[in-house]
Amino acid sequence: MRTIEHWIGGKATPGSSTRTAPVFNPATGEQQADVVLASQRDVADAVSAADAAFEEWSQTSLSKRTKVLFAFRELVNRQADELAGLIVDEHGKVFSDALGEVQRGLEVVEFACGIPTLLKGDYSDQVSAGVDTFSFREALGVVAGITPFNFPAMVPMWMYPVAIACGNTFVLKPSERDPSASL
């Protein structure tokens, strides 16, 4: 039986926990996989890896971040049918609905590809006598998302593309019922 592991620090890992949960195919009622449930240490490892990556990623130029997002967009476009198939297998949606979910998630990825224009700061001189104002945008750090089972691809794609486009790193806790699409 297939085991769905964590993805931490750029690679699959079983983590330190021995606890698992079954992942069922709702159409057949058959168990198709086990998903490894995270321990506190696994969560700490994921946050630590994201924190370590943040230092470099937050200083990566907007043009390089945008290139990563465009490459991700193309990857999701190429794999849309496969992602929709994972949603069908684990969530039980019909294929057309699952494919629509992937497409709606891609809309946010595409928005994030154009985010550099929204990350510009502002400068106004002489807003008052001898007073200039300015603003700038900067990354916050490690961002986390906990997503529900009902939209296993779309809801995560509403979160992490914008977070990483803005220079943050991201830790995702998907639903244990249908984790493969978000992985």
CATH number of residue 151's parent domain: 3.40.605.10
Mean pLDDT across the chain? 95
Put simply, whether the predicted model's pTM sits higher than 0.95 gets the answer no
In this prediction, residue 171 carries a pLDDT of 98
In this prediction, residue 116 carries a pLDDT of 87
Where in the sequence is the domain holding 85, given as residue range(s)? 46-173
What would the pLDDT profile of 120-144 be if each residue is shown by its tens digit?
888 899 889 989 898 888 999 999 9
Kindly state whether residue 154 falls inside one of the protein's structural domains.
Answer: yes
Kindly state whether residue 100 falls inside one of the protein's structural domains.
Answer: yes
Kindly state whether residue 75 falls inside one of the protein's structural domains.
Answer: yes
Beta strands 131-135 and 122-128 are: antiparallel
Kindly state whether residue 103 falls inside one of the protein's structural domains.
Answer: yes
What's the half-sphere exposure (Cβ side, CA atoms, 13 Å) at 181? 33
Number of domains in the chain: 1
Kindly state whether residue 126 falls inside one of the protein's structural domains.
Answer: yes
Check pLDDT > 90 for residue 157. yes
DSSP state of 149: S
In this prediction, residue 120 carries a pLDDT of 84
Kindly state whether residue 7 falls inside one of the protein's structural domains.
Answer: no
Helices 95-113 and 62-91 meet at what angle, rounded to 10?
170
Kindly state whether residue 41 falls inside one of the protein's structural domains.
Answer: no
What would the pLDDT profile of 81-121 be if each residue is shown by its tens digit?
999 999 999 999 999 999 999 999 999 999 999 998 888 88
Kindly state whether residue 17 falls inside one of the protein's structural domains.
Answer: no
DSSP state of 119: G
- Cβ contact 76:153 at 8 Å: no
Separation between Cα atoms, residue 94 and residue 88, nearest integer Å: 6
